Amino acid sequence: MYKNVSIRYALDWTTVFFYVVLVVMGWISIYGASYNFDQASIFDFSQRAGKQFIWIITAFAIGGALLLIDSKMYNIFAYFIYAGTILLLIITIFVAHDIKGSRSWLVLGPISFQPEEIAKMATALALAKFMSSYNYKLKNWKDLLPLSFIIFGPALIIVLQNETGGALVFLAFLLVLYREGMNGIVLLIGSFAVLLFITIIKLSIIPIQVDRGTLGMILGMSFILFVEIGYAIFFGKNQKEALILLAGTFVIGLVSYFINIGFYLNYNYVAIFTVLASCIYWIVIEIFKRYKRYWMLALFSFSSVLFCFSADYLFEKVLEPHQQVRIRVLLNMENAPLGAGYNVNQSKIAIGSGGFWGKGFLNGTQTKLKYVPEQDTDFIFCTVGEEHGFWGSTLVLFFYWLLLMRILRIAERQRDQFSRVYGYCVASIFFFHLTINIGMVLGIMPVIGIPLPFFSYGGSSLWGFTILLFILLRLDAARLERLR
Amino acid sequence: MINDTLQSRRYVIAIIMSAVIVVYILRLFTIQVIDTKYKNGADSNAFLKKTLFPPRGLIYDRNHKLLVYNKPAFDIALIMREIHDLDTISFCKALNIDKQFFINRIEEIKDYKKNPSYSSYTPQLFMTQLGIEEIATIQQSMYKYPGFYIQNRTLREYAFPTAAHVLGNIGEVSQSRIDNDDYYKQGDFAGRDGIEYTYEEQLRGEKGVEILLRDAKGRIKGKYENGKDDIAPKAGQNLTLTLDVQLQQLAEKLLTGKVGSVVAIEPSTGEILAMASSPTFDPSILVGRQRSKNYMQLVNDETKPLINRATQAQYSPGSAFKPLQALVFQQMGGITENTMFACNGPESSPVKCTHHHGSPVSLLNAIEQSCNPYFWNAFKTTIEKNGYGKKNEIFRNTYDDWARRVKLFGLGSKFTDSDIYEQARGYIPTQKFYNRVYRGVTGWRAITIRSLAIGQGEVLVTPLQLANVMAAIANQGYYITPHLNKCDSMLKNIHQCGIDKKYFPIVFEGMSGVFEDGTARASRIEGLDMCGKTGTAENSHGKDHSIFVGFAPRDNPKIAIAVIVENAGFGATYAAPIFSLLVEQYIKGKIARTELRDRITNLVTNSNVQER
Ligand SMILES: [Zn+2]
């Protein structure tokens, strides 16, 4: 029986508390980041902190309003919201003004808005609805196609808006799929593909013996062989084959080395030849000895080689020079003082100079001197690190951890799959933003310009994250309505 | 409903999330607590990125005469927090500014609305583009004013006070340009119009950077790692223009005291030899600190000296349209070179003739004597050649055909493959236009649009387009898009005009006759066979515009010219002598008729034109 439970009782106040704490910490950091010693109030509306205050108040209002909507509406209108958002994203490409190459901002009077912030919420809703629909099975190939459309459709449009960073966020949904039954190997293969791509591109500039191949390609091929050997030992339980493979590789390497003394031989092709030879080897073993699933290993290796080749080809031949630069920046390959390497270096110095206790509120000099770029948006965590030191940064991270764990708990306690999937979506998106943003500031992730939830300056992202979270809180509150 | 076999995955996800946060906390601990590199280094490890501005590319004329080069200039920058114990009065004195200016400027810098990137820690521009003489005094006493710095830059300098419209000028970049191009920062300078704008990316070069170390108070402590990561600025590429500076200067001189323009093109290449617009100004007045004051003066001048009349002003071509008409009529089969029409002189109807000559008139004489009734009859015969048809459809199609052929000469639209930034489109009326104006497809006939026959009415052309038509006729049927950058790639823009070669001799003959027994007899040059055509464009705002177009020599033309002098009356009196003098200068290399030159130079048709 449904019963109307007052939202005041049903609301998960713990989450709201974490949310408010993070938002307020962010607001104070923005004030610190743009503080100049000769300006006055945190409420000065011509300043960023003052403006952020307006965003925060409006975000609270939006959050409150979302709680008043009947929870069933989100399920019923999920596809409509999704379709509307897709339309909005497409319109944005044509309507938006070109801001440094990206066409992702809609300007309505005094308000600038990035529809991609809404797109995350809409995609989460659509995903939740689709996966909770009757008869849905993740293992079904037929169901996988609409699923990837739901996730990567908006991502593709956002790439067309030239906001690659914003599009990458959609990878976070893979974590949701994993929770809902996707084979864990997909995550492993995905990670391996990223590793291969970074290796190939990043190390392709390091030549071997001047012009006889590149370190990237050879290392990439070695990774594949490494996986093969590991598979043979741990899954195939056959160390003999692993040994043969190792010896074969060694012999081919040695022979090609000697050939290269007298003739010209590109080691890239030697490496590729070695992997392809190993594929043939696995297939031969599969056919004659019927070992388990060696054909899969062969297939994996072969596609990996293909992947390496296309990655290299795509990068060198298809991409325009400015796109290549963008990827190189992503991979921290541009270490010019004006490039991304400089920014990260500056942000590390700013954080490092904070020490254990920090320099104190409003006393950070590195961020004030505007050495750190985008100090109140993407690099806001620098200010925390510099002014509040290790303890302050850890506190912020601790609150993020509390929020994430709380959301996971909320997701798991849902009775219907729709709410649970949505809950995981929210957690995954926050987690992705957090990982990329703070990782970038700490210099262990590539420079991808995505905001830190609740911290970064800007109405668009704050509203987006608030909407994402409060829809979950509304769904969660409805859980009690059904119980009684 | 919950699938139990997957329950354990919640822990995997929680562990992944927790692990990342633990790794980040460990990383923070390393950077902030263990590693002293950052802690100790921070104070002295603050960089100041100082932009090194590249010298802009130089600009030459077609004979490698230097037109535009650079001279050093200086900006005064300040860092608000470092200013202390400032002796404002002596500072102002050294810079030759008054105290109020100083106070206002400081207020402006501190105003977040005007200067959103303000920080009291970073350099802010106090004054820009000072000349070497302006900073001479303060340079020696700079140490007395802590917090103020001198930054090097370059300014444009012009070898000749000429071609202001062609060259364009340089100004501070607008916010929208900063948003659209990462290269620019607040306070940068870039080409604003003319060649400086079109070839901005080529001319500007690449900025360099010098990385300096500063302490926590912002004091500069020297270069970072001995300049290991510094980038030297890359100078802009030089540019060679198609202009002949001598011809350009003569053209501007001849236009003194008049409102009008001259465009001269080398027909075989489409290269613009001269492009003058009057009133004009010395380009050097838009350089440096006096720029904004002078710019406002130019904007407010009633004679509109900032407009490049050669490419932006639109006129009815009048009789200058006739050679082109003669070619199109023949090509469309409306007339042949032997077609004769009657002319009753000033009594002709519906189009009057302004001349007295025998009747009937041949095509040759009609061009020579500029006979309006002939061209009206020829126009009518041509566009009525297939009759009118149901709902005038056949007639309207024939009209379309005529308009299309006229447009093939580059009329009615901009030269999109040209490097001229400011262009007007001109206008060749469309069938649609007449359908609308005369309320319906049957509302107009040949007689309704008779003024088109003689280049009056709705047809509009720019002087550049007119000169290009002459180049196309000189080439006997094709033109290369007129352009300003002397380079091979521009020569590929060849456009055919769709006129058979056999129709040209009669037009050449007629245009040559203009100088022998026609309207421009007085502008003959001894020993040089020229082709030309006078035009007088009716103008609702006063006296007619005087127009002359033509090319020379008749065989192997080297130069095609269009001259327009606004409100000067009959074409032969003003425009034709200017044409003749320009041809003499270009073909013979010098002016023998100095008396004529001086007389034309001193003629004033518009007393509002000021010399700048
Ligand atoms: Zn006549």
Chain B interface disruption, residue of A46, A107, A139, A365, most B CBs within 10 A: A365
pTM as predicted: 0.61
pLDDT for A203: 73
Selected residues 145-184 of chain A with any CB under 8 Å from a CB in chain B: 175, 178-181
Which chain A residue is nearest to residue B219, measuring alpha carbons? A369
Residues of B in contact with A405 (CB under 8 A): 14, 17-18
Contact A139, B3 (CB under 8 A): no
Which pLDDT tens digit goes with each residue over A390-421? Answer: 999 999 999 999 999 999 999 998 888 899 99
Contact B546, B523 (CB under 8 A): no
Spatial separation of the C-alpha atoms in residues B491 and B270, rounded to whole Å:
7
Q: Does A404 touch chain B (CB under 8 A)?
A: yes
Spatial separation of the C-alpha atoms in residues A314 and B211, rounded to whole Å:
35
Spatial separation of the C-alpha atoms in residues B503 and B340, rounded to whole Å:
16
**Does the pLDDT of residue A331 top 70, yes or no?**
no
pLDDT for B547: 92
Query: Which of B33, B38, B120 minimises the CB distance to A353?
Result: B38
Q: What is the mean pLDDT of chain A?
A: 81
Residues of B in contact with A435 (CB under 8 A): 20
- Cβ distance B10 to A180 less than 8 Å, yes or no, reads no
**B101 Cβ contact list (under 8 Å, min separation 6):** B92
**At residue A86, what is the residue type?**
I
pLDDT for A336: 43
pLDDT for B44: 43
Residues of B in contact with A420 (CB under 8 A): 2
Spatial separation of the C-alpha atoms in residues B129 and B136, rounded to whole Å:
13
Which pLDDT tens digit goes with each residue over B452-488? Answer: 998 888 899 999 999 999 999 999 999 999 999 998 8
CA of B373 to the centre of ligand 1 (A): 6
Q: Is B128 left (phi over 0), alpha (psi -120 to 50) or beta?
A: beta
Q: Which residues pair with A111 in a beta bridge?
A: A108
- For chain B, residues with pLDDT lower than 70 are 1-5, 36-49, 112-113, 116-117, 119-122, 213-222, 225, 571
Report CA-CA distances (Å) from B96 to A37, A230, A405, B80, B286: 31, 79, 66, 21, 21
Spatial separation of the C-alpha atoms in residues A255 and B542, rounded to whole Å:
93
Spatial separation of the C-alpha atoms in residues A108 and A241, rounded to whole Å:
65
Following CA atoms B269, B271, B274, B275 in sequence, which dihedral angle do they give, to the nearest 10 degrees?
130
Residues of A in contact with B110 (CB under 8 A): 38
Phi, psi angle pair for B424, to nearest 5°: -95, 160
End-to-end CA distance of chain B: 87
3-state secondary structure of A228: helix
Q: Which residues pair with B150 in a beta bridge?
A: B76
Spatial separation of the C-alpha atoms in residues B468 and B406, rounded to whole Å:
12
* Three-point CA angle B410, B411, B417, nearest 5°: 40
Alpha-carbon Rg for chain A, nearest whole angstrom, is 26
Q: What size, in residues, is chain B?
A: 612
pLDDT for B346: 81
Q: Which residues pair with B68 in a beta bridge?
A: B59, B158
pLDDT for B219: 59
Greatest CA separation for chain B: 110
Spatial separation of the C-alpha atoms in residues A84 and A86, rounded to whole Å:
5
Q: Which residues pair with B547 in a beta bridge?
A: B535, B564
Spatial separation of the C-alpha atoms in residues B502 and A80, rounded to whole Å:
69
Alpha-carbon Rg for chain B, nearest whole angstrom, is 33
Of the candidates A481, A484, A419, A474, which has an alpha carbon nearest to the alpha carbon of residue A5? A481
Pairing, β B531-537 against β B478-480: unpaired
pLDDT for B121: 64
Chain A interface disruption, residue of B21, B50, B120, most A CBs within 10 A: B21
Spatial separation of the C-alpha atoms in residues B30 and A277, rounded to whole Å:
45
Residues of B in contact with A38 (CB under 8 A): 80, 110, 120
Which pLDDT tens digit goes with each residue over B147-203? Answer: 888 888 888 889 999 999 999 988 888 877 877 787 887 778 899 889 999 999 999
And the tokens for A451?
A: 């905001």
Q: Which residues pair with B171 in a beta bridge?
A: B190
Which pLDDT tens digit goes with each residue over A111-130? Answer: 778 888 889 999 999 999 98
| Long-range CB contacts for residues A208-217, cutoff 8 Å, separation at least 24 | A208/A267, A209/A260, A209/A267, A212/A260, A212/A264, A212/A265, A212/A266, A212/A267, A213/A266, A213/A267, A213/A268, A213/A269, A213/A270, A213/A271, A214/A268, A217/A268, A217/A271, A217/A272, A217/A308, A217/A312
Q: Does A46 touch chain B (CB under 8 A)?
A: yes
Spatial separation of the C-alpha atoms in residues B294 and B303, rounded to whole Å:
15
Q: Where are the beta strands (DSSP E) in B236-348?
A: 239-240, 260-266, 271-278, 340-341
Residues of B in contact with A342 (CB under 8 A): 47
pLDDT for A339: 46
The verdict on ipTM greater than 0.90 is: no
CA of B342 to the centre of ligand 1 (A): 8
Per DSSP, the residues of A347-389 read: HHHHHHTTTTT-S-TT--STTTTT-STTTTTTTHHHHHHHHHH
Other C-beta atoms lying within 10 Å of the C-beta of residue B11: 10
Contact B43, B35 (CB under 8 A): no
Rounded to a whole number, what is the distance in Å from the CA of B295 to chain A's nearest CA? Answer: 30
Residues of A in contact with B211 (CB under 8 A): 337
And the tokens for B545?
A: 């515009």
Which chain A residue is nearest to residue B29, measuring alpha carbons? A390
Report CA-CA distances (Å) from B100 to A249, B84, B445, B536: 81, 19, 70, 56
Which pLDDT tens digit goes with each residue over A172-228? Answer: 998 888 888 777 777 788 888 878 877 777 777 777 776 777 788 888 888 888 888
pLDDT for A43: 65
Q: Which residues pair with B78 in a beta bridge?
A: B124, B148
Chain B interface disruption, residue of A185, A369, A426, A441, most B CBs within 10 A: A369
pLDDT for B464: 96
- Cβ distance A350 to B42 less than 8 Å, yes or no, reads yes
3-state secondary structure of B385: coil
3-state secondary structure of A58: helix
Which domains occur in chain B, in start order? 47-240 (3.90.1310.10), 245-294+306-610 (3.40.710.10)
> pLDDT confidence of A44, banded at 50, 70, 90?
low
Contact B552, B531 (CB under 8 A): yes
**Does the pLDDT of residue A338 top 50, yes or no?**
no
- Could you state, in order of their start, the residue ranges of all structural domains in chain A? 2-182+342-483, 206-326
Which pLDDT tens digit goes with each residue over B559-568? Answer: 999 999 998 8
Report CA-CA distances (Å) from B388 to A13, B395, B441: 85, 4, 11
Of the candidates B28, B10, B586, B564, which has an alpha carbon nearest to the alpha carbon of residue B311? B564
Spatial separation of the C-alpha atoms in residues A455 and A430, rounded to whole Å:
12
Query: Which of A350, A365, A420 minimises the CB distance to B216?
Result: A365
Spatial separation of the C-alpha atoms in residues B430 and B436, rounded to whole Å:
10
Which pLDDT tens digit goes with each residue over A345-361? Answer: 677 777 887 878 877 77
Characterize B263-296 residue by residue with b for buried, 16 or more Cβ atoms within 10 angstroms of its Cβ, and e for exposed: bbbbbebbbbbbbbbbbbbebbbbbbeebeebbe
Phi, psi angle pair for A371, to nearest 5°: -70, -35
CA of B359 to the centre of ligand 1 (A): 8
Of the candidates B26, B227, B149, which has an alpha carbon nearest to the alpha carbon of residue A393? B26
Pairing, β B59-60 against β B239-240: parallel
Chain B interface disruption, residue of A41, A46, A97, A338, most B CBs within 10 A: A338
Residue B60 is inside which H or E element, if any?
strand B59-60
